[in-house]
Amino acid sequence: MLGLKRYFSQGEDFDSILNGINVGLKEQLVAGLSGSARTMLISSLHEKTGKPQLVVTHNLFQAQKLYEDLISLLPEDEVYLYPVNDLISSEMAISSPELKSQRIDALNYLSKSASGVIITPIAGLRRYLPPIETWKQAGLSFRMGDEIDPDQILNKLVAMGYERTSMVQTPGEFSVRGGIIDIFPLTLKNPVRIELFDTEIDSIRYFEAETQRSKDKVQEISIVPAEELILFNEHYEQAAERIDARLADTLKNIKDDSLKEMLVENISYETGRLREHQQFQSMYKYASLFYDNPASLLDYVSPDCLIIMDEIGRIQETSQQLDKEEAEWQTALLEHGELVRGLTISPDTNVILGDKKSFPIIYLSLFLRHVPHTQPQNILNVECKSMQNFHGQMNVLKGEMDRWKKLGFAIVFVALNKERANRLERVLADYEMDAGIIDDNKDIHPKTSQILLGDLASGFESTKQKLVVITEEEVFTKKAKRPARKQKMTNAERIKSYSELKVGDYVVHVNHGIGKYLGIETLEIKGVHKDYLHIKYSGNDTLYVPVDQIDQVQKYVGSEGKEPKIYSLGGSDWKKVKSRVKSSVQDIADDLIKLYAEREASKGYAFSEDGAEQSEFEGSFPYQETEDQLRTIEEIKKDMESIRPMDRLLCGDVGYGKTEVAIRAAFKAIMDGKQVAFLVPTTILAQQHFETFRERFSEFPITIGSLSRFRSKKEQNEVIKGLKAGTVDIAIGTHRLLSKDVQYKDLGLLIIDEEQRFGVTHKEKIKTLKSNVDVLTLTATPIPRTLHMSMLGVRDLSVIETPPENRFPIQTYVMEYNGSLVREAIEREMGRGGQVYFLYNRVDSIERMAEQISMLVPDCRVAYAHGQMSENELETVMLEFLEGNYDVLVSTTIIETGVDIPNVNTLIVYDADKMGLSQLYQLRGRVGRSNRVAYAYFTYQRDKVLTEVAEKRLQAIKEFTELGSGFKIAMRDLSIRGAGNLLGAQQHGFIDSVGFDLYSQMLEEAIEERKGTKPKEVEEEMDFNIEVDAYIPSSYIGDEKQKIEMYKHVRAAKSLKDISDLQEEFIDRFGDYPVEVECLLLAAGIKLRAKREGIQSIEQKQDTINMLLTESSTASVDGGKMFEIANKIGRHVNLGMQNNFMKVVINRKRLKDLELLKQIDLFLKEIKHARKEKTTNTR
């Protein structure tokens, strides 16, 4: 948008500001700028002056908005966001990892004396940071060939905030294995592997966190800190001493002995941790004590930095509010004996807000008014107003454009991309408004309309500059979804597989049942070492499973919180359970196959292929479709165009875009003259879908009717008449659609939302409605992938797994419950016009809780809802909340499903430790549905000793805050629920009795058997029994999880290429391997080669190895050539016959393990030269 910026910066107002900066004015005030005119000013000033800028806003949301605008006006690598939440208590608890990563990025950029633009809310200036010199020293650089001191590096990584783990999976972790150091910096997409030769850097390469395999090599790499507070040992010691001194002073002023005791206990725990150089959750409160001269963000910007205060009045208000909240927070902690006196929690902001200003400052304000503590030497009142919303009313827009042109204005439309610009040009031309698309660098001309490619949040009209800027959203009321900006945090969720085995996990052995896994043990039997999985069964029964049978053991996966039954070895119980499950899955398979056959035989209506209207309609979708959405739409259209009636289940999480898919299917049906029925479980959902459909179909001649309790009798009758006559194209409604009086002229498509929520009688009616029409069923409960695969070909399933690119991730906090936190969170959400869900799962005291919240925040309107209310009451409350008549809804878990309220962007969960992970995961999905930052607070009771399960659960929530494995656990639990919904609720018990993986396997086998496809032939194992040390020693891989993973890889190798890939993987991940691992890999290769060469067994008897060929292999070799091979290898190799089989006998007396294996391998390689040549018959 270079041309637009040039035009914008030509006016005298801009020159006046620029001149003020150049002559060194300390304070200037610019009033009146609105919409994206502010970001135009900021970016133009940056380009004209070349000075670094710090833009300060009053809250995080505004900072995010400015950042989004600026990255489309300036090079992305010159714009950084330093995001800090405006909540004191939450920042003290757990900071959101995404925000932390962005802050570290910004600090890193600033520490290089950079001249870009940094945007931060005022709360960002109120954080203590290490002195800039400490930050600069904290980074690490590695270059090929450098000599390093590994111990020093490890200590430094810890000081930089990295956590040592056995395997690096998420940002902020590092691990050390022999001469290999893996580090996952917060600001890189992939982790880094540094390999040493003694102390010299031998190789630096990126690797995939998911596979742990190396990718690209680099010559050098810089590692930035993983935390903002850089703490070396001396900083911990210093802080502990300073806290002790303040503790002594505090105790002098306390009269109450029990408070003294509590204070000493709490503070001693914390200073104890500090002296051990350990971090703890609320450590940030001591940030001012770690350094002699603690810094703030202002110490990181250069002295000639230009400070721009966006809405100075609001910034001052927020700052005062934060002062007040901070004081209240300190008082609360002092009363609980958790804080010493004399601590300053945040740095002084007087340097820019008070009378000690030391930077040149420009104040931006919408209105011209005097602001306390400011003395601007240049005041400008710019005539500029926000752009109105035209809501697609083209005649109103045309009237305005004629007026602007008469006044000599330049008119600029901004469209996101080329397609949208073309569409805008077409629509404007239809209404005789000419606007041409111009290049980014072309000049803007007065009295003309032009379309530019770009992305601005909102338009504006600037009278003096004679410039009008209009965004697409202001023309059509729909925001074009901007392409996702590069996300630094990778989706680590995918990495942690839930099938990882940990000691103490329940496991399922296919033949022996469920037991408890106690770890890997290396046992020495007859002088040979081998690794075994140790499984404990009922009583004192113990089973040692050799690692080469690892695929017989699966991790037990059942419903969350359910303890499975442990079996005893050798009993018949397990066999009985397995046979019960088997007959149950066979019944399911029968039903599925029968249904499938019926559908294949029945004839429906084949819809025609997409026409021009369909393309136009799909082009009007205001967002970027995800790949999954596009794939699903294609699958559905293909089904609709076939003569066989469609019966497809579409699964996708809440907010993943299922509705748009349904809308496109409905449009396709209507374009072929068919009617559509959309059946939903609740009245409110019917209303919401009705609104969505009406908005999407607004530009097309389609009639939509709604049938639910929200429609009067008269309205309902009209819709029913219209359906019968064919004048209503689509009916959206609750079970009212299933009534006898509802008849369709020509129903072509039935869409059902959450079928499992309808009762039995309704389900029967749905069945009759389904016959011979295309059916699309939507569900938000995920269906597990394994189940999805096993049902391929008998049930059509589409899965949307990728979430739409949400601009701001949900900020999740796990913390102790306290009233001031709740008040802050609610007030802050109300302050930005949003609403709050307060989740409280006790019906008996929910009313009391609602009153408590009203007392905490007197201005807020509180409602409550729970499942014991009548359907009518519940709907009334939900509807009023949806319409914005309440600020806070105190509710039980009924909000888990269904209603979409985009205005709810804060969720507070009371007693989160008592809820299932999957529930928490789904609840968290209820917020963050709009383009605002959303907050989720999972709270637990103060000073409560948590049960082990609850602690694990909270830990997992913390992990899914950090994009960790909690997501997987939640998905697993939901998947089991999904399986129950798909196959019938009674299957739940069967899944729990044998574990999910075995259940899926059995179901797949039953379906294959019923379909008559050949079951996969289980390859017979070749007998391979040689006494060699072929295992992975703990001295080489100490971490059990990784050891099991590598054994699984060895076990899964299907070719010699797989073996050579494995050799590379061992070296890549763990360094050069010892002889035992070489033997393990060689033995795996021998098994593959032996199978290929027709060897039926390789066994050891005392000191001899007997290698037996199969009958066909014996017949195909030439005895003479075999003797030659034996002689070539050595005297210790002999040949003989056993019945009709040739036998190779190797004497292993003087051969070491590795030599022996190499000899066997060599013999197998040579066998192919002994094959008889095939003779061809000649006449």
Three-state SS annotation for 524-593: EECCEEEEEEEEECCCCCEEEEEHHHHHHEEECCCCCCCCCCCCCCCCCHHHHHHHHHHHHHHHHHHHHH
- Pair 583, 577: CB distance under 8 Å: no
**Final residue belonging to a domain, choices 987, 1004, 1035:** 987
Task: Looking at the structure, tell me whether residues 833 and 965 fall in a common domain.
Answer: yes
Are the C-beta atoms of 731 and 737 separated by less than 8 Å?
A: yes
198 and 166 assigned to the same domain: yes
Give pLDDT, residue 790: 56
Instruction: Quickly tell me which residue has 């890193």 as its tokens.
Output: 108
What backbone phi and psi angles, to 5 degrees, belong to 374? -125, 145
State the CATH number of the domain containing residue 524: 2.40.10.170
CA–CA distance from 249 to each of 244, 289, 409, 418 (Å)?
9, 16, 69, 68
Query: How many C-beta atoms lie closer than 10 Å to residue 1022's C-beta?
Result: 14
Contact 1011, 593 (CB under 8 A): yes
Whether residue 374 is found in the same domain as residue 412: no
Distances (CA, A) of 924 to 653, 688, 778, 795: 12, 20, 21, 30
Query: Looking at the structure, do residues 148 and 176 belong to the same domain, yes or no?
Result: yes
The continuous run of DSSP H or E covering 784 comes out as none
Please tell me the number of Cα atoms within 13 Å of 1010 on its side-chain side: 25
Burial class from Cβ neighbours inside 10 Å (0-12, 13-18, 19+) for residue 1148 reads buried
In the listed set 331, 346, 381, which residue is the last one of a domain according to the structure? 381
- Does 1086 map to a domain? yes
Q: Provide the pLDDT for residue 1179.
A: 47
Contact 960, 921 (CB under 8 A): yes
Q: Residue 60's domain is classified under what CATH number?
A: 3.40.50.300
Query: What integer pLDDT is reported at residue 793 of this predicted model?
Result: 61
**So what's the pLDDT on residue 304?**
86
Between CA 340 and CA 248 the distance in angstroms is: 9
Amino acid at 700: F
**Eight-state DSSP code of residue 147:** B
Q: What gap in Å lies between CA 409 and CA 335, rounded to an integer? A: 63
Strand partners, 797: 649
**How far lies 65's CA from each of 8, 69, 71, 156, 241, in Å?**
20, 6, 10, 36, 43
Query: How many whole angstroms separate alpha carbon 456 and alpha carbon 574?
Result: 64
375 and 393 fall within a common domain: no
Q: Report how far apart, in Å, the C-alpha atoms of 658 and of each of 99, 737, 803 are.
A: 29, 21, 11
760 and 619 in a single domain? The answer is yes
H and E: helices and strands count for the chain: 37, 44
The answer to whether position 263 is within a domain reads no
Please report whether residue 800 resides in a domain: no
Q: Is 1067 in the same domain as 952?
A: no
End-to-end CA distance of the chain: give it in Å, rounded.
84
Write down the pLDDT at residue 806: 54
Distance between CA 95 and CA 126 in Å, rounded?
Answer: 15
Query: What total number of domains does the chain contain?
Result: 7
CA dist 923 → 880, 888, 937, 1065 (Å): 20, 15, 11, 40
Do 962 and 824 reside in the same domain of the chain?
yes
Residue 884 placed within a domain = yes
Secondary structure of 982-1032 in HEC code, one letter for each residue: HHCCCHHHHHHHHCHHHHHHHHHHHHHHHHCCCCCCCCCCCEEECCCCCCC
Domain-located, residue 565: no
Residues 638, 741, single domain; the answer is: yes
In a domain, 258, yes or no: no
Structural domain including 753 reads: 606-642+655-779
Beta bridge partners of 177: 180
CA 276 to centroid of chain Cα atoms: 34
**Is 422 domain-assigned?**
yes
User: Does residue 785 lie in a domain region?
Assistant: no
pLDDT score recorded for residue 754: 80
Q: Which of 188, 208, 223 is the last residue of a domain?
A: 223
Same domain? For 437 and 462 the reply is yes
Residues paired with residue 194 on neighbouring β-strands, in sequence order: 181, 204
- Listed as own residue / partner, the contacts of 517-526 with beta carbons closer than 8 Å and 24 or more positions apart are 517/553, 517/555, 519/1040, 520/547, 520/1040, 520/1043, 520/1044, 522/1031, 522/1033, 522/1034, 526/1027
- 1081: domain CATH number is 3.90.1150.50
What is the helix (H) or strand (E) element at residue 177, kind and residue range? strand 173-177
Single-letter residue type at 292 = D
CATH code, domain with 207:
3.30.2060.10
In angstroms, rounded to a whole number, what is the distance separating the alpha carbons of residues 327 and 341?
Answer: 12
Low-confidence ranges of the chain (pLDDT < 50): 90, 481-498, 961-967, 970, 1178-1179
Task: Determine the Cα–Cα distance for residues 552 and 517; give it in Å rounded to an integer.
Answer: 13
Which DSSP category does 599 fall into?
Answer: H
CA distance readout (Å), 979 to 724, 784, 792: 38, 7, 14
Q: Where are the beta strands (DSSP E) in 213-261?
A: 214-217, 220-223
Buried b (16+ CB within 10 A) or exposed e, 175-206: bbbebbbbbbbbbbebbbbbbbeeeebeebbb
Give residue 963's Cα distance to chain centre: 6
Contact by Cβ (8 Å): 1100, 1148: yes
Residue 14 sits in the same domain as residue 107: yes
For residues 43 and 98, membership in a common domain is answered with: yes
Which residues, in sequence order, are CB contacts of 939 under 8 Å at separation 6+? 814, 815, 816, 817, 821, 908, 909, 910, 911, 912
Q: At 450, which CATH number?
A: 3.40.50.11140
Dump pLDDT digits (tens) for 740-771: 899 999 999 999 988 777 777 787 777 777 77
